Amino acid sequence: MSRLAIVVAVTACASAPRSPGLVLADPVEVIAASPSDGFWFPYVLYVPTGSAGKTDLLVEPNNTGTTNDDFDVHLRSAIVTAEGSTNSIGHFVAREAGLPLLVPAFPRPAALPLVYTHALDRDTMLVDHPPLRRLDLQLVAMIDDARRRLAGRQILVGERVLLTGFSASAAFVNRFTFLHPELVRGVAAGALGVPMLPIAELDGRTLDYPLGVHDYGAFTGTSFAAARLREIPQFVYVGELDENDPVQSDDAFSETERETVYAVLGRKKFPDRWERCHEIYERAGMNATFKAYAGIGHGTNRAINLDVAAFFRRLTRL
């Protein structure tokens, strides 16, 4: 498929009305794409009943778990995440803490198999044409739009948001936090294959995005804001039995990135790579809590969800 065909197909899908089969559970709504406001795709907003006054906005990026050129597949997945129809940590936290939740409906086109949009990988960040160009900035625009909409309901959310994600969406929020630390109040990321590292090189190896911050300025136009990033509370967690390793997948990491990860962090996700990343975060002075859960694979349970909710609840009380 040509680049032009891909652009036309993805744009058409994003702009098309929702199919009649998409039934929303109150209080969830789909906000239409608005390229003039900076976002080419819709997003889903969940506002718990009784929400009012000053609060925080929680964001959980969508993670369909597969590629598909039918945009409705990704929109349905985002709606399910917002509704909590599956084990959505974002919905659980939003309901428990009374926070509005934003879930972007970004596509993950099969026509672009190496562009892992839902993980905000390097290929995604290098897309230079709409509608997939700079999904991180599109999410910023969605956040601004949601803030205005919520203010119209007398729900006043702060300038900085709370982020949560698991697996691919954990990679998204981890990387987004590095790119936009001024917008993040706190982040919880579960089952990360490799957390982005707050360093430019390690053991003689250059760490470009998304491994590290060597070429940070190429994406942000600014120098790495290390001090600001260190202030952000982070909760990074994994199941000790989690064998799902995105580093082994070509769509998640290039061969060069994979070789670097294996060389400086280790081949085994847990405990080798996990402990090495924890050590690097500590040495860099990051405000990050790393927690491993015994007996848990690639998933969460109520205890983990409660820990994530408690993490965010502490932040909302500050």
For residue 155, give its domain range.
3-316
For 82, other C-beta atoms within 10 Å of its C-beta total 29
Q: Tell me, what's the pLDDT at 192?
A: 92
Q: Tell me, what's the pLDDT at 55?
A: 94
For residue 4, name the pLDDT band (cuts at 50, 70, 90).
Answer: very low
* Cα(135)–Cα(43) distance, integer angstroms: 12
CB of 263 closer than 8 Å to CB of 203: yes
45 pLDDT above the threshold of 60: yes
For residue 316, name the pLDDT band (cuts at 50, 70, 90).
Answer: confident
Residue 195 sits in a domain whose CATH number is 3.40.50.1820
Average pLDDT of the residues in 239-257: 97
The pTM score is 0.93
Q: Which residue has the higher pLDDT, 46 or 19?
A: 46
Q: Tell me, what's the pLDDT at 24?
A: 66
115 pLDDT above the threshold of 70: yes
CB of 274 closer than 8 Å to CB of 290: yes
For residue 7, name the pLDDT band (cuts at 50, 70, 90).
Answer: low
pLDDT tens-digit map of 72-114: 999 999 999 999 876 789 999 999 889 999 999 999 999 999 9
142 pLDDT above the threshold of 70: yes
Average pLDDT of the residues in 7-15: 49
Task: Specify the number of domains making up the chain.
Answer: 1
* Cα(119)–Cα(108) distance, integer angstroms: 10
**Long-range CB contacts (within 8 A, 24+) of 20-27:** 22/72, 22/75, 22/76, 22/79, 24/79, 24/83, 25/83, 25/85
65 pLDDT above the threshold of 60: yes
| SS3 per residue for 179-247 | HCHHHEEEEEEECCCCCCCCCCEECCEECCCCCCCCCHHHHHCCCCCHHHHHHCCEEEEEECCCCCCHH
